[in-house]
Every structure is written in C-alpha cells, then in structure tokens.
Structure 1
Amino acid sequence: MIRVLITDDEPLIRAGIRLILNSADDIDVVAEAADGREAVELARTHRADVVLLDIQMPVMDGLTALTELRRAVPGARVLILTTFGLQENVLRGLSAGSAGFLLKDSAPAELIGAVRAAAAGDAYLSPAATRHVVDSLAAGTPAHRTEQARRRLDALTERELAVLELLGEGLSNADAGRRIHMSEATVKTYVSRILAKLNCENRVQAALLARDAGLGG
C-alpha cells in the first residue's frame, strides 16, 4: 500500500485529491497538511511514501518544505503540485530533488499514475506542464546554447533523436509510442538511454536540450 500525504492550503483541493486517490486499491491517504511545516511533521509521523506538495503556501512554502522533507524523511518521494506560470519554481523543485510535478487539474488517472510512478522510484513529469515549461524557457535560445545542445545530441542514434523530439513536445511515453509505433515499455527504455547519454536527470532537462538544439523545428 502506498502511503500518501496531501499538502495544499486549500481544503477543497485536498478533498478532491483525496477522493481521487482513495479510489485506487493500492493507495492510502494517511494525512493532509495545510502548509509546508505541517507537511514535514506529518510526513515523518505517518511515514509517508509519497508527498504531494503545493508550492505557494503560508508558514512554509513548498520549495522550503521540499528541502526539509528531503532531510527529515529521505525515503519519501515528493511530487510538486503546480499551475501554469510557475516554471521557475518547478525547475527549482526538480533541482532540489522532487520526484516530478503535475498540474492540479490533472485527470484522475494521471494523478494516480503519478503517485504510483513516484512510489516505484520513477520521476513523473506531467506532459502538459512539461510542454508549457519547455516552450516558455526555450524562447529566444542564444546561438551558443544551440550549438552546445547540438553537439550533445550527436551522441544519440536516429531512433533516440526521434524519441527525444517527442519529449520536446511534452508527449507521455504512451503517446510517443503511438506516434512512432513503439510499445510504451520500449519508449521508456529509449528515454532511459537518452537521459544517460545526455547526462540529464529528468525529462524536462532532456526536453529543454531538444528545444535548445532546434530539434523538431
């Protein structure tokens, strides 16, 4: 059973997420927190496996709480809850060790899938949010960044480049597989290879590199 802590300062948001997660047989919402400080305390008390963490909260914001959670409950995996317009905070969260991020208005199946992926040790990055972050940060890429990115991409095979291009579009593994006629498992294998070859920690970094290189136009 995956033990989940929901952290958001809006009761209605917490209630909606709890309702969705409780519909899954393998997920147990063990507690709810209204701010970052409470999240750290409850994660430790309830031995949470996955913490859903809002960024903008009173008392202690999500990014500060993320750092505290990594120190106090190192075994917990933290998923950042976000909305469009918080690209910088999302990237800071990923750099600080979060297991990924998803939008607050994600479909129920995506929310459940993200929690399962995080609990299994995988990173989860919402395709829609990934696409928004990449589009926003890649605008006006300097020429030297473009050249550096293209040199790094020289290490990839033609098939890996095709998969990377789809990451740059923010597609999930399943959607990418349908686009290029691969199974989801095969795409996942390619993504792992791409991240290793490019020395990227997550899909967002790889997607940004693809956009810097001008892959896919």
Structure 2
Amino acid sequence: MRVLILEDEPLISMAMTMILEEAGHRVTTAETAEGAEAINRVDPHDLAICDYNLGKGRRDGVDAALAMTRDNPKTRIIFQSAYRDQVSLGRMVSAMPEAILSKPLDEAKLLRAVVGHPLSEVA
C-alpha cells in the first residue's frame, strides 16, 4: 500500500516510516499540509496518516486531509494526535477519517488501522 505520512516531528515520522516499511508498505513523508497536498495531487496515495497539529500558525492535518480527499476521493485518512478535546476531535471527525489514533505512537494500533479495521477497534 502507498502511504503518505504528514507529520511535523521528524522522530515520529521516522518511526512510523520504519514500522510501515517493515510491514511492506511504500511510504512518502511530508512535514506541512501544503507539502502533503502537493505530493498527493501529483502521485495519489492509498492512505494518508495525518498529524492534527502541525505547529502554531500553520494549516493543520484536517485542512490537508480535506484537500487530499477532494483531489483524490479514494485516499483513505487516518489521524494521529495528542489532542483529545471535543473541539479537536470534532474537527478531525469532520474529515471522516477511518481512525483517530492517540499519541504516543502505538505500533499495533497503527498497523491495525492501516489495514482497515474500523475506528472503534483502533481508537
């Protein structure tokens, strides 16, 4: 599966890349919403795993997810975030993701979400 990781923290991005590549997926990374959108527009991916908060003053992972699915409706979305408040969760849910995973990174939950288990099983 072709997976696009949108994550502004390099260590998290590297860890996710290693996990997914070891599981046989092809991974591309981006650190900004604009970067992820540009990559997915030119080279559509099967799945985008988006961090919710990409840094103060920047567009967030929801902005990117909405743009990517508008450009390529078949791109599946998963969010990963430390934010669990109602506003943040509501914003993520508005993009209709397959899953919302909590940080810190949980390898088993990540891999289950990537293969398409329902939200209730991985959140």
- Which ranges of 4 or more aligned residues in structure 1 deviate by more than 3 Å? 84-87
Residue correspondences, number: 121
Q: Indicate the structure (1 or 2) with the bigger Cα radius of gyration.
A: 1
> What letter corresponds to residue 84 of structure 2 in structure 1?
G
Is 1:93 the equivalent of 2:100? no
Is 1:36 the equivalent of 2:33? yes
> What letter corresponds to residue 98 of structure 1 in structure 2?
P
Is 1:24 the equivalent of 2:23? yes
From the superposition, tell whether residues 96 and 15 of structure 1 become closer, same or farther in structure 2 (CA, over 3 Å).
same
Larger RCO (alpha carbons 8 Å, 6+ apart): 2
Give the RMSD, CA atoms, in angstroms. 1.9
> What letter corresponds to residue 50 of structure 2 in structure 1?
L
Which structure dedicates a bigger proportion of its chain to strand?
2
1:126 to partner: Cα distance:
6.0
Q: Distance in 1 between matches of 2:81 and 2:71?
A: 23
Where does structure 2 lack aligned partners over 5 or more consecutive residues? none
Q: Distance in 2 between matches of 1:69 and 1:48?
A: 9
Per-residue CA deviations over 1:62-103 (Å, capped at 9, x if unaligned) read: 121122112112110010111143442223222222222112
Where does structure 1 lack aligned partners over 5 or more consecutive residues? 130-217
Query: What is the match of residue 50 of structure 2?
Result: 53
- 2:52 touches 2:61 (CA, 8 Å); kept in 1? yes
Query: What is the match of residue 106 of structure 2?
Result: 107
Q: Report the secondary structure of 1:85's partner residue.
A: coil
Which runs of structure 2 are paired with 1:66-145 in the superposition (5 Å)? 66-117=65-116, 123-125=118-120, 127=122, 129=123
> What letter corresponds to residue 88 of structure 2 in structure 1?
N
1:125 to partner: Cα distance:
4.4
- 1:44 touches 1:73 (CA, 8 Å); kept in 2? yes
From the superposition, tell whether residues 125 and 28 of structure 1 become closer, same or farther in structure 2 (CA, over 3 Å).
farther
Q: Report the secondary structure of 1:22's partner residue.
A: helix
- 2:83 touches 2:89 (CA, 8 Å); kept in 1? no
- 1:66 touches 1:93 (CA, 8 Å); kept in 2? no
> What letter corresponds to residue 33 of structure 1 in structure 2?
A
